């Protein structure tokens, strides 16, 4: 990744953000978002105005929208990533994701909706005030982080396109751009690209389910799924699909990438559940990042990642061992 100091900013203003976000891409994404009207016209653009405007989360936020647990430092959240389109090492996305062109960007919404279409990112943001959600993210690999996301509920977008009564599931697809995503060139045998994910319609409509366009007050870095990604905090991290280009509402349960890759290890639901182990490792505890060799920071994993009060009713009567 190109690290250079833009000539117009004094060194004292060089933040980790301006280092990990390539400046020109950041400004392009910022301009795109600024055009949306969803954020204040002064939110982005000038040197001192590169933060997103959003409703901040805090202790007074609705239950589940905020946690007072320590937030993962930005450096860890942007340099310890899973984004296999850029490679399988945790450091690969930070190193290679700058190659993804995130502007212009549009998302096609199709299937069982009254208003299908291809919507530019600015259209998607229209009428959706951005809000912050401080969520735990629990990876199936038994590490976790706490991240201040910025976005809007998926439900508000779905309501706008008017799902029909046959819309029982929502399928999501990541961009397929092998020329920009080296993992889509090198991992062709192992992973059927593009990455796909899915939710049941009630999960998709749940107020905790967020479409995120930013984190830590700024637009999303590419390695975290720019320009728009899903965040479903009560499910294992792989459900939170990045860099979305298609959302399809449908009657049938859609295929999901990790279920296609290893069906006995990764189910469609993938709700965080300390009582259902992965066939190859326990899910009872997790390493809260950052940790170290001498302080792994291991903590118990909570049912539904701590969001049981909000989401357990979605699964009432379901055998969660069978529907893992």
Residue 195 makes contact with ligand MTE by CB under 6 A: yes
Name 313's bridge partners: none
Show contacts with Mo ion in window 233-252 (CB under 5 A): 237-238
Distance from C-alpha of 239 to C-alpha of 256, rounded to nearest angstrom? 9
- Tell the burial category of 298 from Cβ atoms under 10 Å away from its Cβ (0-12, 13-18, 19+): middle
Sole window of 49-57, 79-87, 158-166, 199-207 interacting with ligand MTE (rule: CB under 6 A): 79-87
Closest contact distance (angstroms) between CB of 317 and ligand MTE is: 29
From the list 57, 64, 74, 85, which residue makes contact with ligand MTE (rule: CB under 6 A)? Answer: 85
Closest contact distance (angstroms) between CB of 96 and ligand MTE is: 13
Show contacts with ligand MTE in window 87-146 (CB under 6 A): 137, 139
Closest contact distance (angstroms) between CB of 110 and Mo ion is: 27
Phi and psi angles of residue 79, each rounded to the nearest 5 degrees, phi first: -130, 10
Closest contact distance (angstroms) between CB of 51 and ligand MTE is: 19
Nearer to Mo ion, 87 or 237 (CB): 237
Closest contact distance (angstroms) between CB of 30 and ligand MTE is: 19
Sole window of 108-116, 125-133, 137-145, 257-265 interacting with Mo ion (rule: CB under 5 A): 137-145
> 124: part of which helix (H) or strand (E)?
helix 121-125
Name 286's bridge partners: 299
Sole window of 48-56, 94-102, 133-141, 316-324 interacting with Mo ion (rule: CB under 5 A): 133-141
What Cα–Cα distance (Å) separates residue 72 from each residue in 23, 29, 68, 159, 295?
23, 24, 12, 33, 15
Q: Which of 102, 120, 105 is nearest to 26 (CA)?
A: 102
Distance from C-alpha of 117 to C-alpha of 70, rounded to nearest angstrom? 40
Show contacts with ligand MTE in window 217-236 (CB under 6 A): 224-225
Show contacts with Mo ion in window 79-98 (CB under 5 A): 82
Sole window of 5-13, 35-43, 44-52, 231-239 interacting with Mo ion (rule: CB under 5 A): 231-239
Distance from C-alpha of 258 to C-alpha of 266, rounded to nearest angstrom? 6
CA 16, 70, 269, 131 torsion-angle sign: negative
Indicate the pairing of strand 106-111 with strand 218-219: unpaired
The contact set with ligand MTE (CB under 6 A) reads 81-85, 137, 139, 174, 195, 224-225, 237-238, 240-243
């Amino acid at each position: 990744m190109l690290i250079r100091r833009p000539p117009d900013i004094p060194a004292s203003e060089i933040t980790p953000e301006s280092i990990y976000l390539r400046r020109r891409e950041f400004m392009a994404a910022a301009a795109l978002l600024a055009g949306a009207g969803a954020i204040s016209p002064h939110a982005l653009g000038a040197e001192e105005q590169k933060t997103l405007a959003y409703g901040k989360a805090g202790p007074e936020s609705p239950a589940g929208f905020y946690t007072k647990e320590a937030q993962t430092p930005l450096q860890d959240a942007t340099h310890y990533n899973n984004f296999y389109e850029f490679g399988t090492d945790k450091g690969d996305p930070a190193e290679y994701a700058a190659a993804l062109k995130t502007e212009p960007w549009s998302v096609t919404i199709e299937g069982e909706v009254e208003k299908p279409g291809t919507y530019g990112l600015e259209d998607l943001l229209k009428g959706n005030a951005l809000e912050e959600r401080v969520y735990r993210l629990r990876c199936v690999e038994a590490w976790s982080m706490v991240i201040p996301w910025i976005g809007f509920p998926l439900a508000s977008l779905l309501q706008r396109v008017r799902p029909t009564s046959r819309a029982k599931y929502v399928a999501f697809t990541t961009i397929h751009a092998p020329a920009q995503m080296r993992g889509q060139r090198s991992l062709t045998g192992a992973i059927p690209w593009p990455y796909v994910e899915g939710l049941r319609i009630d999960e998709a409509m749940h107020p905790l389910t967020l479409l995120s366009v930013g984190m830590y007050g700024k637009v999303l870095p590419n390695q975290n799924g720019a320009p728009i990604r899903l965040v479903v905090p009560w499910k294992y991290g792989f459900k939170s699909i990045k860099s979305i280009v298609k959302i399809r509402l449908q009657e049938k349960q859609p295929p999901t990438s990790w279920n296609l890759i290893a069906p006995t290890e990764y189910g469609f639901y993938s709700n965080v559940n300390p009582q259902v182990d992965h066939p190859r490792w326990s899910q009872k505890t997790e390493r809260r990042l950052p940790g170290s060799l001498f302080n792994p920071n291991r903590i118990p994993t909570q049912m539904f990642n701590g969001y049981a009060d909000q989401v357990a009713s979605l699964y009432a009567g379901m055998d969660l061992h069978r529907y893992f």
